[in-house]
Amino acid sequence: MEFVSYFTDRNLRLTDLKNQLKHFTNQNKKLHDKHKIVQEKYTQVIQLFNNILISNNTSAWKVHFKKEVVYVHLVKKELIPFSFLA
Question: What is the number of domains present in the chain?
Answer: 2
Considering the domain architecture, whether residues 13 and 44 belong to the same structural domain is answered as: yes
Per-residue pLDDT at 82: 56
Considering the domain architecture, whether residues 14 and 3 belong to the same structural domain is answered as: yes
Per-residue pLDDT at 20: 97
Considering the domain architecture, whether residues 49 and 77 belong to the same structural domain is answered as: no
Domain residues for the domain of 36 are: 1-55
Considering the domain architecture, whether residues 39 and 2 belong to the same structural domain is answered as: yes
Considering the domain architecture, whether residues 33 and 10 belong to the same structural domain is answered as: yes
pTM above 0.75, yes or no: no
Considering the domain architecture, whether residues 37 and 47 belong to the same structural domain is answered as: yes
Considering the domain architecture, whether residues 40 and 5 belong to the same structural domain is answered as: yes
Per-residue pLDDT at 41: 86
Per-residue pLDDT at 79: 61
Per-residue pLDDT at 71: 63
Give pLDDT tens digits along the chain (86 positions): 787 888 899 999 999 999 999 999 999 999 999 999 888 888 888 887 777 666 666 666 666 666 666 666 666 666 655 555 55
Distance between CA atoms of residues 6 and 22, nearest Å: 24
Considering the domain architecture, whether residues 76 and 45 belong to the same structural domain is answered as: no
